[in-house]
Amino acid sequence: MAQKGEQEGQGPLEALAVAARGQKGLPPVHLWNPPLCADIGLKIARDGSWWHQGAPIARPALVRLFASVLRRDPDGYFLVTPVEKVPIAVEDAPFLAVSMRESAGDLIFRTNLDDEVRVDADHPLRFEQGEAGGLKPYLRVRADLWALLTRALAYDLMERAETRQMNGREVMGVASGTHFFVMEDGGAPQQA
């Protein structure tokens, strides 16, 4: 007998893809509260690749479809449709920022899934300590879903860093538009 969400002849991955289709734009996953389904072995690796039961998901369209129904809850990451909620392991961040450009003073990043994100108060940069002691920059893509900047892009971003006086002390950070993201304080945006 097929599990909930599966149809005759479909595995759990195909059933999830069918349930996620048919949406224009990003679906309102924050409004859905379906029952939790069994873990089917989904993972997003540190390098941004998506895996199912130990094998890479090779179809970019399927990865983009799954990313459109990705949600982070207090207890982890899930792919959410109106009828099911499937856990997915995320090694670091669900997205990877792979390119950066500047437009009218704003920084704009492109993710490994071709999302373009303009850095602003709703899409801030944040900085965490890396294992080797350096800073790891992240960009909020949407809701509580973040993109880790590639190493090369992190170096490019660090070259843009500047020092400013804020609250009586010198801080280092990165500007985008009218916002300034302080590296030492987790990147909380400040008005420039």
Q: What is the DSSP string of 101-167?
A: EEETTEEEEEETT--EEE-SSSS-EEEEE-TTSSEEEEEEEETTEEEEEPHHHHHHHHHT-EEEEET
> pLDDT 10s per residue in the chain (192 long)?
344 444 444 555 555 555 555 555 789 999 999 999 999 999 999 999 999 999 999 999 999 999 999 999 999 999 999 999 999 999 999 999 999 999 999 999 999 999 999 999 999 999 998 887 788 999 999 999 999 999 999 999 999 999 999 888 999 999 999 999 998 745 555 555
pLDDT, residue 4, reads: 43
8 A C-beta contact, residue 171 and residue 164: yes
pLDDT, residue 6, reads: 44
* Exposure of 110 in the CB half-sphere (CA atoms within 13 A): 8
In the chain, CATH 2.30.270.10 sits at 95-191
What CATH superfamily classification does 95-191 receive?
duf1285 protein (2.30.270.10)
Amino acid identity for residue 18 in this structure = V
CATH dotted code for 12-90: 3.10.540.10
Question: Alpha-carbon distance 42 to 28, whole Å?
Answer: 21
In the chain, CATH 3.10.540.10 sits at 12-90
pLDDT, residue 103, reads: 96
